[in-house]
Amino acid sequence: MHTTILVTGGTGYIGSWVVKYLLEEGKTVRVAVRSLENRKKYKHLQEIAEKSAGTLEFLEADLLKEGSFDEAAKGCDAVIHMASPFKLSIKNPEKELIEPALAGTANVLSAVNKAETVKKVVLTSSVAAIYGDAADMKRKGLSEFTEQIFNDSSSIKNQPYSFSKVLAEKKAWEIHDAQNRWDMAVVNPSFVMGPPLTPHSESESITFMRTILSGAYSSGAPDLNFGFVDVRDVARAHIAALHNQEAQGRFILSNTSLSILELTALIRKHYGKRYKLPHRRIPKVLMYAIGWMFGLSLHFIKNNVGIPLDFNNSRSKQILAIQYTPFESTVVDMIDALEKITLSRKE
């Protein structure tokens, strides 16, 4: 059993839940942070540790600095590498997405290669490394996306975030395949939703939900479909992949696929008229004219709006024994948590 685990990105939206579950198991968890002085980023983890059986340690490390993770990985049994930028609004994709994703992966796995005690690596990737546009499913003659598929439609100009994810994951497999000491499992979640453990999370998932609740789509929702998964299920999958020796290769994590309008219908079901939510979809032909208002390019609209998505999650159920949280609970727990955060900020 792994007893000392290094977690990169452990203060983030998913990472905080991973650290919480590891601490509750009594593990020694090393969390790599960019700055120990920025205590508000990890204060919530310290509070969790005080109530848990495990031990929490913090070390400074920089994704872009070669050798930065060497000391943190030394003596660890396993490494969970989650730290990678998730930004949809960017000016320089090379600098903001691709460079840190590639360099971070290379630097962390270089530290793993130097730390002879490490036997298992769990890497957080994304379904974005499997597909770039919803149209990829039809183009490839698929009824659903599986772990065998790699994204080949994204580029630095088209879906640069997705491009960064597929490049980083392929880099990780390249480094893994060049050695034979440690095993690797890759977790590929769809759009992660659910309650945050920290009010300081900068996750795009939270931004997306706050945008919906703000009434931004009240006049109509783009007909976009997403795979959704609970943040707690994603965290549990990381833990299961860590402990299960059979857990190698890629694992799609996706509970259900819904459109934005279907998502807001769930919100309305539980919160009534509390939020200004859309009642209709914006026709695709109209999206070509107003898509810029949502930050959507003509290429993106053509290949994603009105096109269904589906993901095969059977490996996550069979090997990781994931029992997916009912998605209505995911949505309600997330909104309740965000309301509490908003209320506490006002007080």
183-189 vs 249-253, strand pairing mode = parallel
Q: Do 142 and 149 contact (CB within 8 A), yes or no?
A: yes
**Residues linked to residue 35 through DSSP beta bridges, in sequence order:** none
What confidence tier does 316 reach under pLDDT thresholds 50, 70, 90?
very high
Q: Which two tokens stand for residue 283?
A: 């026709």
Question: What tens digit of pLDDT does each residue of 209-229 get?
Answer: 999 999 999 999 999 999 999
Q: Do 104 and 67 contact (CB within 8 A), yes or no?
A: no
Q: Do 238 and 78 contact (CB within 8 A), yes or no?
A: no
- The domains of the chain are located at 4-346
> Which top CATH class is 4-346?
alpha beta
One-letter amino acid identity for 229? V
Residue with tokens 């003596």: 75
Estimate the crossing angle of helix 99-114 against helix 160-177, to 10 degrees.
20
28-33 vs 55-60, strand pairing mode = parallel
pLDDT greater than 90 at residue 1: no
Long-range CB pairs of 305-309 (<8 Å, 24+ gap) are: 305/222, 305/223, 305/224, 306/223, 307/133, 307/134, 307/135, 307/137, 307/138, 307/225, 308/134, 308/137, 308/225, 308/257, 309/131, 309/134, 309/137, 309/145, 309/225, 309/226, 309/227, 309/257
Q: What is the reported pLDDT for 264?
A: 97
Q: Kindly report which listed range (21-30, 274-283, 336-345) carries the lowest average pLDDT score.
A: 336-345
Phi-psi region of 193 (alpha: psi -120 to 50; beta: other; left: phi over 0): beta
Q: What is the reported pLDDT for 87?
A: 56
Q: Which two tokens stand for residue 209?
A: 């939900």
Cite the DSSP H helix spans in the chain.
13-24, 43-50, 70-73, 93, 99-114, 135-139, 160-177, 204-213, 231-243, 260-271, 284-290, 298-304, 314-318, 327-346
Which is it for the CA torsion 87, 92, 98, 100, positive or negative? negative
Distance CA 62, CA 52 (A): 28
Distance CA 4, CA 29 (A): 6
What is the model's pTM? 0.95
Question: What tens digit of pLDDT does each residue of 114-150 get?
Answer: 999 999 999 999 999 999 999 999 999 999 999 999 9
Please give the angle made by the CA atoms of 189, 50 and 119, to the nearest 5 degrees: 45
Q: What is the reported pLDDT for 98?
A: 87
Phi-psi region of 57 (alpha: psi -120 to 50; beta: other; left: phi over 0): beta
Mean pLDDT in residue range 81-109 = 82
Q: What is the reported pLDDT for 89?
A: 62
Q: Alpha-carbon Rg of the chain, whole angstroms?
A: 20
